[in-house]
Amino acid sequence: MAPTRKYMKAAGMIAGATCLCLTAAGCSSGGGPASTQTKGVTIKATMAGDPPPKAALDAFTKKTGIKVNWTTVDWDSLQTKISAAATAKTYFADVTDVDWSRVGQLGKLDWFYPMEKYLNTKKMAKDMPQMDSFTLDGHVIGIPEDASFMVTTVNKKLFAKAGIKKMPTTIGDYTKDLKQIKSKGVVKYPLNIPFAAAEGLSTYWYQTTGAFGGTILDGKGRPQFTSPDSAGYKAAQWMISALKNGLVRPGSINVADSEGQQTLMAKGTAATTFSDYSGNVGSLYNIPKSSTVTNQVEYIPTPGATGVAPNLNNPDGVGIPKKAKYPNAAAKFIKWLTSAKKEADFAGANGKDKVQPGYFVPSRLSAMKELTNSGHLDQGKKLSDMLESSTKPVFPQGAPSWYPEFSQAVYTNLHAAATGSKTASAAIKAMSEKAKQLASGS
């Protein structure tokens, strides 16, 4: 897998929500009263990413008296463990992953401690623009750990070969440019869309919907994409039409998000990805051993219906499960882990020996500024500006508790429309009916 912070997120989300009985036995037993002790204790951090450098963890232990045992588990398996342990009311970790898409589920089911109980989240939010993606009904379920958000990337060399010098600011101009790149024979299939039935297809549609000027659900979970005039409807039709009109490679119906970034964008067989991941320029496209397009790919402001569109959030956070043994100690660790100084260190601002593998884009504006000033974040100024001014949550009122089932309906039906087994309108209707069913509680 490419050195990207975003982990492959697929149908395992559903497995994590439903196959609890199969895995609960694999969780650690225990779950007695939580201790407020913060010195001379050992906490367990179970995360999807690699740990910070040992020297940094040792320094934290020396300063606080808290020892950290860090375990890395693949993202899908980790979500299953979180659900299984919470359902069985057993301890499995003091600190673990909180993905933005599961905030509704984790919050509604009361599986995690509200972080405002332990940290000054209001103060932190001023430096962390994506805090609202982890907030539900006034409670902060997790602290943003990275600053992943959806961005549009273009290979400017390929655009230039097609005679395009001015980057598009509207979807109309963007589509026109795609057709020009194809007609000029620069690349046969200029647009990368990952049509495999996986989470990456859902997030691509969310970002495209935002670009068309709309939202997915309202505050009560009701679908906002049923009308042909709605942004979500137009976004789905635009994506399917791009495939049918030969702007997207036919084989992309079986290509997942990270695979398309690695094998199409990074190899120069696609000229642009409308919904890419922040950080991919520096962590993938400009890495010679994984890319043939070094120094050719750039972030551009996302083209929208009438002008520049927002960038929707896609971050991972970190939180404290309700069965944690040492929640106060866990909170101290999270405060340290997400501090501006440590985020800048982990992302590479202050030397390779302080880098946390796989960590590229800090969640704090101050850490982004330090990293950008250090020269160790490719196109850092562009990313910093986007993080500060144009990022928005996918669901402004918080992700619904039934998000995993909804997302499955989204990517399953969009994939079916791409393969031709459904029309785009039939796919949208099925997605809408699923949202209505889930929102009604039936």
* pLDDT digit string, tens, across residues 129-140: 999 999 999 999
Q: Is the pLDDT of residue 32 over 80?
A: no
Please check whether residues 290 and 408 belong to one and the same domain: yes
Last residue of a domain, one of 393, 412, 432: 393
Please check whether residues 78 and 138 belong to one and the same domain: yes
Q: How far apart are the C-alpha atoms of 115 and 101, rounded to whole Å?
A: 17
Nearest C-alpha neighbor of 104 from the set 192, 216, 21: 216
Nearest C-alpha neighbor of 8 from the set 277, 285, 198, 205: 198
Nearest C-alpha neighbor of 140 from the set 130, 148, 150: 130
Helix, strand, coil proportions of the chain in percent (round to 5)?
45, 15, 40
Please check whether residues 195 and 213 belong to one and the same domain: yes
CA 17 from chain center: how many Å? 19
Strand residue runs (E) in 122-174: 135-136, 139-140, 143-144, 150-155
Yes or no: say if 67 and 43 are a contact pair by the CB < 8 Å rule: yes
Please check whether residues 164 and 249 belong to one and the same domain: yes
* pLDDT score for 24: 37
Q: Residues with Cβ < 8 Å from 320, sequence gap 6 or more?
A: 94, 95, 112, 113, 115, 118, 327, 330, 331, 334
* pLDDT digit string, tens, across residues 138-149: 999 999 999 999
Please check whether residues 174 and 308 belong to one and the same domain: yes
Q: Is the pLDDT of residue 8 over 50?
A: no
Please check whether residues 405 and 264 belong to one and the same domain: yes
Q: What is the mean pLDDT of the chain?
A: 92
Please check whether residues 256 and 214 belong to one and the same domain: yes
Residue 392 β-bridge partners = 312
Structural domain boundaries enclosing 407:
150-313+401-440
Q: Poorest-confidence range of 78-92, 182-196, 321-335?
A: 78-92
Mean pLDDT over 227-240 rounds to 98
Mean pLDDT over 102-128 rounds to 95
Mean pLDDT over 194-203 rounds to 96
Q: Is the pLDDT of residue 26 over 50?
A: no
Q: Is the pLDDT of residue 51 over 90?
A: yes
* pLDDT score for 331: 98
Nearest C-alpha neighbor of 77 from the set 43, 47, 110, 107: 47
* pLDDT digit string, tens, across residues 157-177: 999 999 999 999 999 999 999
Note the pTM of the prediction, 2 decimals: 0.88
Nearest C-alpha neighbor of 129 from the set 400, 369, 364: 364
Yes or no: say if 398 and 134 are a contact pair by the CB < 8 Å rule: no
CA 378 from chain center: how many Å? 19
